[in-house]
Amino acid sequence: MNGLTEIRWSPYIVGCAIGVLSWFTLLVSRHTLGCSTSFARSAGMIERLFRGRKVEQKAYYREYKPVVDWQWMLVIGMIIGAFIAAKSSGDFALRWIPDTWASVHGGNIPVRLLAALAGGVCLGFGSRWADGCTSGHGISGAMQLAVSSWISALCFFIGGIATAFLLYRVIA
């Protein structure tokens, strides 16, 4: 089992491997796994393209500078790693609409994109509001036993479960 060409690995094995990975990021790079700050830095970089260097004077971007850093490279690496994994099992495909979405909300592409866009806005806004995401708080912060991270992670799932039931059980 668990050959490189298998589509799915056991979630327990994957989880344990991510745990081990987090030892090494801390030991080698003095960083913990996280993603959402990189989207904020990217937003700053894009804003700088249009509005120039005064963007760097914004209070937020003075704290989270719009630059390429360790975590930004981590996120780029994640896209590459997922591509390799998907290719290795033949699971890679260009697709617009996930099955669960189509079965409840239909196969209209603009409708799905609009929902994804709105969801993305909430997610970007919420992750920076909470100062972390499912990896930064949910995995890295939780293993540091941080109160901020456990509260955040619980709220991610409370909000997520309530919204999912509304979208897929109540409305549908």
Partner 1 sequence: MSTKLSQLIWGLLFGVVFGFLLQKGGVASFDVIIGQLLLKDFTVVKIMLSAVAVGTIGIHLMKGFGWVQIKPKTGSWGRNAAGGLLFGIGFALLGYCPGTIAAALGNGWLDALAGGLPGILIGSGMLAAFYPKLKARIFHLGDYGDLTLPRLLKVNDWLVIAPLIAVIAVIFWLLERAGL
- Positions in 55-114 near partner 1 (CB under 8 A): 58-61, 64, 68-86, 89, 91-101, 112-114
How many residues lie near partner 1 (CB under 8 A)? 127
> Smallest gap, in angstroms, from Cβ of residue 81 to partner 1?
3
Angle at 76 (CA atoms; ends 45, 89), nearest 5 degrees:
150
> Smallest gap, in angstroms, from Cβ of residue 138 to partner 1?
6
Q: Is 165 in the site for partner 1 (CB under 8 A)?
A: yes
> Smallest gap, in angstroms, from Cβ of residue 106 to partner 1?
13
C-alpha 51/C-alpha 48 separation (Å) is 5
Q: Is 51 in the site for partner 1 (CB under 8 A)?
A: no
Q: Is 49 in the site for partner 1 (CB under 8 A)?
A: no
C-alpha 44/C-alpha 64 separation (Å) is 9
Q: Is 135 helix (H, G, I), strand (E, B) or coil?
A: coil
* Own/partner long-range contacts of 84-87 (Cβ < 8 Å, ≥24 apart): none
Q: Which residues in 152-172 are b (16+ Cβ under 10 Å) and which e?
A: bbeebeeeeeeeeeeeeeeee
> Smallest gap, in angstroms, from Cβ of residue 108 to partner 1?
12
**Identity of the residue, 73 or 106, whose beta carbon is nearer to partner 1 in the bound complex:** 73
Q: Is 131 in the site for partner 1 (CB under 8 A)?
A: yes
Q: Is 142 in the site for partner 1 (CB under 8 A)?
A: yes
